[in-house]
């Protein structure tokens, strides 16, 4: 089995990028408030994904991509669950002193 050099380069670059992103998160958690860190790291990764979509030319999925019941579930329960989880994590006691 042969592996193209571009595929190997992409795998190595992706691994190093995610490792660096995780290291940055772990180093900044002591200096930046958790909610601000979440916002900054999320906004920092948006340009990378936007460039990927722009280069790849990905289009939005068609109307039949998800079956109707699944679309209904995603549009109603997923935002509710995510909001509830975010509120619960902000209110729960943290084992890390810097996150209180």
- Cβ-based neighbour number of residue 89 at 10 Å: 13
List the domain range (segments joined by +) for residue 29.
9-51
Kindly state whether residue 70 falls inside one of the protein's structural domains: no
- The mean pLDDT value for 18-36 works out to 86
**pLDDT greater than 70 at residue 38:** yes
Whether residue 56 lies inside any domain: the answer is no
Residue 13: inside a domain, yes or no? Answer: yes
Q: Give the count of alpha carbons within 13 A of 18, CB side only.
A: 6
Q: How many domains does the chain have?
A: 1
Is 81 within the bounds of a domain? Answer: no
Query: In this structure, is residue 74 part of a structural domain?
Result: no
Taking a C-beta distance cutoff of 8 angstroms, is the pair 35, 90 a contact?
yes
pLDDT in tens, 48-98: 888 888 888 877 767 766 666 666 666 676 677 777 777 676 666 665 555
- How far apart, in whole angstroms, are the C-alpha atoms of residue 36 and residue 96? 16
Residue 39 lies in a domain: yes
Element (H, E) at 43: helix 34-56
Residue 71 lies in a domain: no
């Amino acid at each position: 089995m042969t592996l193209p050099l571009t595929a190997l380069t992409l795998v190595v670059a992706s691994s190093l990028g995610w490792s660096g992103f995780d290291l940055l998160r772990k180093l900044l958690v002591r200096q930046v408030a958790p909610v601000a860190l979440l916002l900054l790291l999320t906004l920092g990764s948006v340009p990378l994904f936007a460039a990927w979509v722009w280069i790849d030319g990905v289009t939005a999925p068609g109307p039949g991509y998800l079956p109707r019941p699944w679309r209904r579930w995603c549009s109603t329960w997923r935002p509710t669950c995510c909001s509830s989880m975010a509120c619960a994590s902000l209110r729960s006691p943290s084992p890390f002193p810097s996150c209180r």
